[in-house]
Amino acid sequence: MIGAQWGDEGKGKITDLLSGSADVVVRYQGGVNAGHTVVVQGQTFKLHLIPSGILYPETECIIGSGTVIDPKVLLQELDQLHELGIATDKLHISESAHVTMPYHRLIDQASEEKRGSHKIGTTGRGIGPTYADKSERTGIRIVDLMLQDDLVKQLRWTVNYKNVILEKLYDLPPLDPEAVIEEYLGYAERLRPHVVDSSLRIYDAIQQKRNILFEGAQGTLLDLDHGTYPYVTSSNPVAGGACIGSGVGPTMIDRVIGVAKAYTTRVGEGPFPTELDGEVGELLCDRGAEFGTTTGRRRRCGWFDGVIGRYAVRINGLDCLAITKLDVLDTLDEIKVCVAYDIDGKQINDFPTSARLFAQCTPIYKTLPGWKQSTADCRTLDDLPKPALAYLKYLAELMEVPIAIVSLGASRDQTIIVEDPIHGPKRALLYSNGTASPVM
């Protein structure tokens, strides 16, 4: 299950729903830049690293090798779950995941400041620098954290090396290597019971024919390789990232579910063609409570972008879509959908690779009628006002992909399951013509 836009598509709720049918949930990339808000029986859970599958007592959760783990935040999440009486013994952490260290956070924040008007608008959680160390081969992995003697030697060297960067490049005070060592040795002991060879564990689960849900964080347009570079995160949220970030082969993935909001949002810098500055943008932000779970930043809001939607279908090989927050559009007179872009009178149908070109794109819209009534209590497609159903069918037609789930609010029950995307037949869901034959 992946995000089909710029993240914050409501994946937390959809993972939570699908986790009921999953024996194992695997998070495969990203770190504490992500944030899921899940509401169960009136209780709100905010999670950054732990998959929301943890809320099901029978579901095993794995934080995979492609993630970057900030142990301090992870332990806070574990404490929060314990306080609420939720068992965490079924949480496993990959030995190969990389560890976010204090200098990663400091460098992330300081380098953003240095970039000035070229800043990316990162979450400031040290994600980019942790992945940079992974690529540079100076990273510290969970497995290193488990080997006390080696860790002490490695950290003494690394912290001193990073201190040169902190002091000389960013004018920051140095870190005390011994204090960092002590802090991380403490984290290591608490995490030890959860640490496993995750790819082996996942492979065993596949052999046992257990259902596995791979949960993407962020979204397709934030992908390091396929997103709106450089305004992206430093990992691969796309479906292919699930294989690399969990250590499973592509032949083992049965289907790919994309999650998209009924409109679009983006946090941080970077081009966003359908962004709305005026009243409608405000309305989407207020009705959709569009504030980041991790940073509290107000999200930029705009109309649904069919060009990036089609791109997400292509890049991820989507089998079906979950459309979230349809209810946010309930009060609008009319709703626009971007069907293509215009650059200097030339129509662009496909997402352009260059950020510069993307910044020049003006949306070409199709306008659809609004429904001006609440959809929050609809539980089947038949309950939906006709224009709302027509809107969904239009999205399915535009993206040439069926819709499996429609979400109409934060609670588990505010959902229309058109077809169970895990157990249901592949590609036999809500098509634009409303019949069982796909639009292709």
Decide whether 82 or 114 has the Cβ nearer to ligand IMP. 114
DSSP type of residue 319: S
**Applying CB under 6 A, does 2 fall inside the site for ligand IMP?**
no
Q: Rule CB under 6 A: is residue 29 a binding residue for ligand IMP?
A: no
23 noted as active-site residue: no
1 binds ligand IMP (CB under 6 A): no
300 near ligand IMP, judged by CB under 6 A: no
Nearest to 370 by CA among 303, 273, 289: 303
Stretch that binds ligand IMP, among 31-39, 158-166, 364-372, 383-391 (CB under 6 A): 31-39
Member of 27, 98, 104, 125 binding ligand IMP (CB under 6 A): 125
Q: H or E stretch including 15?
A: helix 11-19
Q: Which of 65, 96, 122, 158 binds ligand IMP (CB under 6 A)?
A: 122
Interface pick for ligand IMP out of 69, 101, 120, 418 (rule CB under 6 A): 120
Q: Is 17 in the site for ligand IMP (CB under 6 A)?
A: no
Q: Is 361 in the site for ligand IMP (CB under 6 A)?
A: no
Angle between the N-to-C axes of helices 306-316 and 386-399, in degrees from 0 to 180, rounded to the nearest 10: 50
User: Which one of residues 127, 145, 276, 384 is an interface residue with ligand IMP (CB under 6 A)?
Assistant: 127
> 3-class SS at 256?
coil
By beta-carbon distance, which residue lies closest to ligand IMP?
A: 268
Q: What are the structure tokens assigned to 28, written together?
A: 């495969």
SS3 breakdown of the chain: % helix, strand, coil, rounded to 5? 40, 20, 40
Angle, CA 241 vertex, CA 294 and CA 36 arms, to 5°:
25
Closest CA to 8 of 371, 271, 289: 289
Position among 234, 246, 264, 324 found at the interface with ligand IMP (CB under 6 A):
234
| Residue 36 is among the residues annotated as catalytic for this protein | yes
From 119-127, 191-199, 408-416, 420-428, span contacting ligand IMP (CB under 6 A): 119-127
Q: How far apart are CA 126 and CA 104, in angstroms?
A: 4
Give the total of residues touching ligand IMP (CB under 6 A): 20
Phi, psi of 93 (to 5 degrees): -120, 135
Among 59, 199, 218, 316, which residue interacts with ligand IMP (rule: CB under 6 A)?
A: 218
Pairing of strands 334-343, 362-369: antiparallel
Of 8, 70, 77, 319, the one binding ligand IMP (CB under 6 A) is 8
Our CA angle for 152, 154, 156, nearest 5°, is: 65
Beta bridge partners of 336: 367
Q: Identify the bridge partners of residue 417 per DSSP, sorted by sequence position.
A: 405
Site residues for ligand IMP per CB under 6 A: 7-8, 33-35, 120-123, 125, 127-128, 217-218, 222, 231, 233-234, 267-268
| Residues with a known catalytic role | 8, 36
